[in-house]
Each structure stands twice: as structure tokens, then as C-alpha cells.
Copies of this chain bind each other. A is one copy, B any other.
Amino acid sequence: MKKNRKELFFEETLKLVVQKGFKGTTLRDIAHKLNFEVANVYNYIDSKESFLEGYLFNTLHEFCEYLDNIMTSSYSPVEKLKFVISKHVQYTIAQPYVVALFIYEWRNLKEPKLKEFEEKRENYIATVNDIIKAGISQGELREMDDKFATFMVMSSMRWLFSLVTNEENNINPIEIEKQMTDFIFKGIGK
């Protein structure tokens, strides 16, 4: 499969932006990395902002759609939660730089896109909260504050990208998913 210039542009730019931050990456940085002149950047993107929007909303939509499918299934709360965790882990391992962008750079969106992003993400978390609340009330999860539990579950999964971007080691997605699930459900205690 030949990798054309456009794919290369997006890959390299994504890495650069993750490394130096959105505001910290200039179009000239990007041009330099790809060995061409500044103006050429506009053969690939309409604006710096649109580059960010593209990745952020694609990712968000993919997660939301997947969660929708989980919610309209007949699985139990714990089973649903395991699907959510699986999705996060698998997506993060497949696209760690996109996730890094998602975590670190969403604040650079401009209105009204910023608000749209925040609302959709808030909606996603609220739905995960619904799963956890159901899990507690049905006795599948231990008694605890459901909002805090949701917050902790999301927090746990958020940083996984840095394990993938930093680690030279081979990553086994199946094993990472197992470890992640074990941690969230059983913790590290005995």
C-alpha cells in the first residue's frame, strides 16, 4: 500500500502537534518537517483550525456512535462497561497520537465548535455514568458514589495513550485490555 503525500502530511503534522502543542506548532514547523515551503501546507488543509477540528470530531463521533450501540443492546451494566473500556483501549492503542490530541488540544477549538465539542463529550460521560449508576443499583458494582466512580473510570483510561507513544516495547492490545479491566474492577489491592 503506497502512502501518498497527503497521508504523510497528516501523520507527520499530527505527531508534531502532539509533541509541541497546537499553539506551539507553527505552519513553518510543519513545512520544515515535510521539506517544503509554508504556503504548501494549504494544499492539504484549509486552515490550522480545521486540522484540529477534523481529528477531534471524528474521534468524538466514533466513540459516541459506539456507545449508542452499546446502550441499545441488552447487555448488563458490567458487560456494557467492559465494552466501553475495550473501545477506549483498542482505539488508544491503534491511534495513540489522535487520543493525545483529543486529551491535550481540544481547548484550542474556537467557538462555536468548542461548545459543541464540550457538550458532546459531556453527553458521552453522562451516558457512561448511567451505566455505572445502573450497575450499582443492580448490585453488580459495589456501593459507592456513582459520579465519582464515573470520574475515576474515565480518568484511569485517559492517559493510556502516553504508554503507547512513549513505550518502544511491543504492545499487546489484548493483555493491556485485561490489565486495564482488572485495575478498574479489582484495583491493586489483595
Contact = CB atoms under 8 A, between A and B. Distances in A.
A72 to B, nearest CB: 23
Interface in A175-190: 176, 179-180, 182-190
Q: Give the secondary structure class of A's interface.
A: helix
A163 interface: yes
Given A135-B188, A144-B188, A153-B188, 11 more contacts: A141-B188, A141-B189, A144-B179, A145-B179, A148-B163, A148-B183, A155-B156, A155-B160, A158-B159, A184-B187, A185-B187
Copies of this chain, tallied across the complex: 2
Range of interface residues on A (Cβ < 8 Å): 35 or more
A190 B180 CA distance: 16
A23 interface: yes
B21 A108 contact: yes
A149 interface: yes
A154 B166 CA distance: 15
A72 B27 CA distance: 50
